[in-house]
Every structure is written in structure tokens, then in C-alpha cells.
Amino acid sequence: MIKIVLMMLFVAVITLCGYLHADQKPDDREALAGLSSAKVIFDVRVADQEKLVFNLKLINETYEGLLSQGIKPKMVIAFRGPGVKLLSSGVIDEEALSLVRDLKKKGVRIEVCSVATRVFKVDNSSLIPEVILVGNVFNSFIGYQNRGYALIAIN
């Protein structure tokens, strides 16, 4: 009998915790307190279209989330690694291209590392026009972080 009562009590507590958690709403106020703008550089190293689309959507959602909370985003997306192949005309899929164009219209700077294009044998002239070819995104990371940009790695 005690086991049954304890089991019922356990189930009740678990159920109550589920209800309490379900009522919780997302809240970024603590992290964003006192900010009027936020600077970030994304280190993007994804190697397939599905991950590229997922992460571009996430970056866009982050941009919109900051705006909706009164924060002006200043963003740079820096591509390196094998994912630079995905940014060529004829390779990038329509959804990813649409997301890149939307982010660019919002003022997001989108860089591609020429070291990576050389290593992964991407013809720089095949890159979509929405991206900016830079010498080395490591230099971008150094420069932007020294100017107060947060670095977020996306693999």
C-alpha cells in the first residue's frame, strides 16, 4: 500500500513539474540587459546543404529575436572549411540562397575565406554575388573580436 501511495505521489510531482515547466516563457532579459546593440561573428563550418539551411534560419531567428527585444544586431557570417563549396552558383540550393539574400538585405556581412576556397578547390568566380571573398577569415575573427564582436562557432 505504501509503495502505491509513493508511486502516485511521484507521478503527481512529475506531472506538476511538467505543468510548471510548460508555463515558463522564453526570457532573454538578463543576458541582454543594458544593451542597445549586439555585435556577433558566426564561424560557419557546415558541410552540407541541410545544415546550412538550418543554421541560416537560426541566424535569421537570432537577428529577429534581438530586434524584437530592442537590440540592434551587427552580424558577420564567416564561412570556412568545406562548406565554402555550398556557396557556389549552381551548388547552393534555392532555400539557402533565399536566406543568404534576406540576411544580406538586413545588413548582415557574409564572408567567404579564400584560403578555404583554395584548399577545397572552389573557383572564386563561381561564388554567389551576395558573399564577400576575404583573404583569411582568421583575420576577420581577430579583427572583429578585437572590436567587441562575440564569436559563435557553427559546425
Beta carbons of 96 and 53 less than 8 angstroms apart: yes
Q: Please tell me the pTM assigned to this model.
A: 0.83
Torsion region of 48: left, alpha or beta (phi above 0 gives left; psi -120 to 50 gives alpha): beta
C-alpha 148/C-alpha 132 separation (Å) is 21
* Sign of the CA dihedral with 7 first, then 9, 12, and 13 last: negative
CB atoms within 10 A of CB 104: 17
pLDDT confidence of residue 4 = 66
| H helix intervals, the chain | 2-23, 29-32, 49-68, 94-105, 114-119, 137-146
pLDDT confidence of residue 14 = 61
pLDDT confidence of residue 24 = 74
Q: Note the Cα 59 to chain centre separation in Å.
A: 3
**Average pLDDT per consecutive 10 residues, the chain (155 residues; last block may be shorter):** 61 60 76 93 95 97 95 97 94 96 98 98 97 98 98 95
C-alpha cell at 89: 552558383
Could you tell me which residues come within 8 angstroms of residue 101 by beta carbon, excluding any fewer than 6 positions away? 130
C-alpha 133/C-alpha 8 separation (Å) is 63
Distances (CA, A) of 134 to 7, 8, 77: 62, 63, 12
